[in-house]
Amino acid sequence: MYKKRFDLKYMLNPRSVAIIGASSSPNKVGHVILQNYIDAGFPGKLYPVNTKEDAILGLKVYKSVLNIKDGVDLAVIAVPAEIVPKVLEECGKAHVKSVIVVSGGFAEMGRADLQDKIISIATKYGIAMLGPNCLGVMDPRSRVDTLFLPTYKLSKPKIGSVSFVSQSGAVGSTVLDLIAKEGFGLSKFISYGNAAVVDEVDILKYLGDDEDTKVIIMYIEGVKRGKEFIEIGKEVTKKKPVIVLKGGVTEQSASAVHSHTASLSGSFAAYQAVFRQFGFIVADDLSDLLNYAKAFSTEHMPKGNRVAIVTNGGGAGVLETDEIFLNNLTLAEFDKTTLENLRKNLPVIVAVRNPLDLVGDADDKRYETALQAISKDPNVDMIIAIVLFQTPGADSKVVSTLIHYKNITDIPIAALSPGADYTSVHKMMMENSGIPVYDSPAAVAKSFAKLLEHSRYLKDNGKE
């Protein structure tokens, strides 16, 4: 049975942070981390630690964490690997509550002996240690940011409800950038690297209990404590969606995994079977990871597999219909009241059926008529609104209409809007209002299929 090992709140919501290896050189990792904390407006105390400098970025510098008289909730270690054991020992003696080792050069580089040494030190002092070889954490609410990536290179997501866990720092930073671009918000980001002490089991448990996290997405390469991961996972998935992308699915990539984070990747087939059995949502690639996260962040669950399609482009409706059936969904059959309402209020050029093609000159009034009727139809479980903003009538008023119906109905609504600059502006408006927007028919259908899969899992486990 899983027993709580660490309280990660000191890592994600600290009152005080020591950056060990802070530097006045802008090219140094320790400088970037300290600058990120300042730029984020971190409200707690910052303690730069460096043996050779007196002040960095206007802050007093300490020679050692042992010289800091007040308690330290979090120490971020950014020094060469050989020095980490000495620094970590000092953190233990100073009663530092949690530590993030961003430094690389441990088991992933063949230095298992050095990694074993810091594990022993962390264990001796009961320190919650994340890493080594990781980016660390970011929490937009607490304004914690240990990512040693310049802000001009990485867009930071707004505050939201999706938490992202990544064993790989590179994958993590890429997905963070994309989350910011897509417009849905971040609750917490945790990059844990070699998982020497704090691992994916501890992180999943913490996020499962975290009230600010509504959706969890994970990129993992291997799991060290398989039984406990399953035990925690099957409880968390009943409370909130957990979307997983597994790295190392082929024999060739499995060997690359070990040299990357010193992790054993294991059989992908075994992982996949366990994930599906215990309610994890499996993503096949990074696009899936983001697309599913967008869908689940809307918080509406479908009751069935019947989809209504509203479109201002007939061809797009045909393509979406194909994807609906390829993903084991079906088209809703509108009831009598809906059909009568639509025939009465739509122009005669609109053929009233599903998909409902409002034709190329459709404006907000036509979308209003369609959504007003369809959103009340008892035969409709999900709605896909295709809005091709290249047409004359598609503009911000159509967006306002979609947002209105998203807010007044508990039926999941997603939009399909491929396009460039003009489309992107309106796509962002919808994303910022909680409507997931996709660029391809397949992405919408796959995301809705995963929503339904999770809805059925909750129903089967009495968690409707």
Q: Residue 443: CA atoms inside 13 Å, Cβ hemisphere, count?
A: 22
| 48-82 per-position pLDDT tens digit | 999 999 999 999 999 999 999 999 999 999 999 99
The pLDDT of residue 87: 98
**What superfamily would CATH give domain 306-460?**
Succinyl-CoA synthetase domains (3.40.50.261)
Average pLDDT over the chain, rounded to an integer: 93
Q: Cα dihedral sign for 170, 176, 181, 182? A: positive
pLDDT surpasses 50 at 339: yes
Count of H-run helices and E-run strands, the chain: 16, 20
Least confident of 124-128, 192-196, 249-253, 372-376: 249-253
**What superfamily would CATH give domain 1-134?**
NAD(P)-binding Rossmann-like Domain (3.40.50.720)
The pLDDT of residue 430: 95
Confidence of residue 251 (pLDDT cuts 50, 70, 90): low
The pLDDT of residue 298: 80
Alpha carbons 362 and 394: distance in angstroms, whole number: 7
The pLDDT of residue 443: 98
What is the pTM for the complete model shown?
Answer: 0.91
Q: Smallest Cα–Cα separation from 26: which of 153, 137, 150, 169?
A: 150
| 128-167 per-position pLDDT tens digit | 999 999 999 999 999 999 998 877 788 889 999 999 999 9
| 30-49 per-position pLDDT tens digit | 999 999 999 999 999 999 99
> Residues 407-421: what's their mean pLDDT?
96
Return the amino acid letter for 443: A
> Residues 304-323: what's their mean pLDDT?
97
Q: Cα dihedral sign for 425, 430, 432, 438? A: negative
193 Ramachandran zone, left/alpha/beta (phi>0; psi -120 to 50)? left
Least confident of 10-19, 244-253, 360-369: 244-253
Judge if the upstream peptide bond of residue 355 is cis by omega within 30 degrees of 0: yes
Confidence of residue 347 (pLDDT cuts 50, 70, 90): very high
Q: Is domain 154-297 annotated with CATH 3.40.50.261?
A: yes
pLDDT surpasses 60 at 179: yes
> Residues 237-261: what's their mean pLDDT?
69
212 phi, psi to nearest 5 deg: -80, -10
pLDDT surpasses 70 at 93: yes
| 260-285 per-position pLDDT tens digit | 444 444 567 788 888 989 999 999 99
Alpha carbons 107 and 205: distance in angstroms, whole number: 25
The pLDDT of residue 60: 97
pLDDT surpasses 70 at 227: yes
> Residues 233-246: what's their mean pLDDT?
95
Buried b (16+ CB within 10 A) or exposed e, 321-340: bebbeebebebbebeeebbe
The pLDDT of residue 2: 59
Alpha carbons 29 and 37: distance in angstroms, whole number: 13
Confidence of residue 464 (pLDDT cuts 50, 70, 90): low
The pLDDT of residue 270: 80
Confidence of residue 14 (pLDDT cuts 50, 70, 90): very high
Confidence of residue 415 (pLDDT cuts 50, 70, 90): very high
Question: Which sequence spans correspond to the domains of the chain?
Answer: 1-134, 154-297, 306-460
Q: Smallest Cα–Cα separation from 99: which of 184, 20, 210?
A: 20
pLDDT surpasses 50 at 117: yes
The pLDDT of residue 261: 44
Alpha carbons 434 and 453: distance in angstroms, whole number: 21
